Every structure is written in C-alpha cells, then in structure tokens.
Amino acid sequence: MKEEGLFEALPDDFHRDPTLASTKAELNEVHEWLSRRVPSEAIGLVGVAIGSKMQAKVWPGENFRSVLETLWVKHRIWPIFIGGASDVAESVSIKCAIGAGAVAAGEFSIRTSLALLRQCCFYLGNDTGTMHLAVAAGLKCVAVFSARDQPGRWYPYGEGHFVHRKAVGCEGCMLLECVEQKKKCLTQITSEEVYNSCVKLLERENNK
C-alpha cells in the first residue's frame, strides 16, 4: 500500500520521467566534485539531510552523528550532506566529529543535487524537500518524522522506505517550533533504531 505524500498523484515510475534525467554536464560536475572528496576506502555513499526550515522537524544532530559514525566505521558508507546554506555549519560540525563525509549543502542547484543523490545508496534524514528529491532520484529512504502532522502525510512516496515516527499525546500540533515539549516525539527516536534501518537497506541492496 502506498503512503500518502507529496507525490501521491504520480505514477510508480515517476522518478524515471525524462524531464528529471540528469544531463551529462550535471553528472560530470558531480563526479568531479566527488572525486576530490570521497576516499578510496569508501564503498558507498549516503545522502544526508540534517536540517529543516521547521525546528519542530529536526532530529538532534548528535543522533545523526552517532548513526553516521557507525555507518562509516562498520560499513564504510561515506556521508554526503545535502541541503541549503543554513545546513552548512551543522553538517561541517558532524563531518569533523566523525572524521568522514563531504558537505554539498548550499553548493548545488536542485537539478545538480538530484544528480548527486543518484550516486548514493540511500537517503538518511529529516522530513524535508531533500527527502522527496531523493525519492525522485530513485532512492529508498530512512526518514525521521516528527508527530506534528498526521501519520502518513508527507511520507516518502512508494514502498521499501523506513519511516521513524513516534505517537505522542501532543501529536498533530502543527507547530513550527516545539519549545514546551522539547520535541519529545523526535527525541524518543533512538540512534540505534535508525541505524538498524540503514543496515537493513544496505543488506537489501547487497542481496539484489
């Protein structure tokens, strides 16, 4: 069963729409950028979006750090941080803390970011436009959702994704910023459970 979301009116193969195809120039730009930022020991890339325009949607940065560090140490999956200019500082902080990753946030257009995501194994991140862009690139997602909205709304389109969302008494609040409850719906989502979903996606990819 398909979850309702941004692309609910689009066909199953919408990400193959020729208007979304990356051009040779876009792919060359991405390959050149990656060639200078990804070490030879990396065996795969993960597209990461740690930010959001809404504070109430942002999973704690230390949780992303924990998941990404373990993915690098145990699986040699190299993080590629994608997003806007406002995500650069936190992305750089996490990259430096784990000693792995490349920060593309704020550098590329939407189309070039789409080409960059196509080089990744999967997406890891918050409920953001980048998540939907990752789906358009044909990626499966490990997505972290707050409970500010209805369950299922804005989930990544299609099947095979892992969505982490906790039901809480104040769900459906539609807050842009959560101060009083301190984002308890998000802080209840553990790094371990998100990491385990990432591993399941990797195992699924390896068994194809």
pLDDT of residue 13: 46
Q: Is residue 57 one of the residues assigned to a domain?
A: yes
pLDDT of residue 122: 97
Q: Is residue 200 one of the residues assigned to a domain?
A: yes
**What is the token pair recorded at 66?**
């924990």
pLDDT of residue 17: 62
pLDDT of residue 168: 96
Q: Is residue 64 one of the residues assigned to a domain?
A: yes
CATH code of residue 166: 3.40.50.2000
pLDDT of residue 140: 96
Q: Is residue 180 one of the residues assigned to a domain?
A: yes
Q: Is residue 2 one of the residues assigned to a domain?
A: no
Query: How does pLDDT run along the chain (208 residues), one tens digit per residue?
Result: 223 332 333 334 444 566 778 899 999 999 999 999 999 999 999 999 999 999 999 999 999 999 999 999 999 999 999 999 999 999 999 999 999 999 999 999 999 999 999 999 999 999 999 999 999 999 999 999 999 998 888 899 999 999 999 999 999 999 999 999 999 999 999 999 999 999 999 999 888 7
Q: Given CA atoms 32, 207, 65, 131 in this order, what sign does their dihedral have? A: positive
**196: amino acid identity, one letter:** N
Q: How many domains does the chain have?
A: 1
Q: Is residue 25 one of the residues assigned to a domain?
A: yes
Q: Name the residue range of residue 38's domain.
A: 14-206
Q: Is residue 7 one of the residues assigned to a domain?
A: no
Q: Is residue 152 one of the residues assigned to a domain?
A: yes
Rounded to 10 degrees, the C-alpha dihedral 108/88/180/132 comes to 20
Q: Where are any strands of DSSP class E within the chain? A: 44-49, 77-81, 102-103, 122-126, 141-144, 162-164
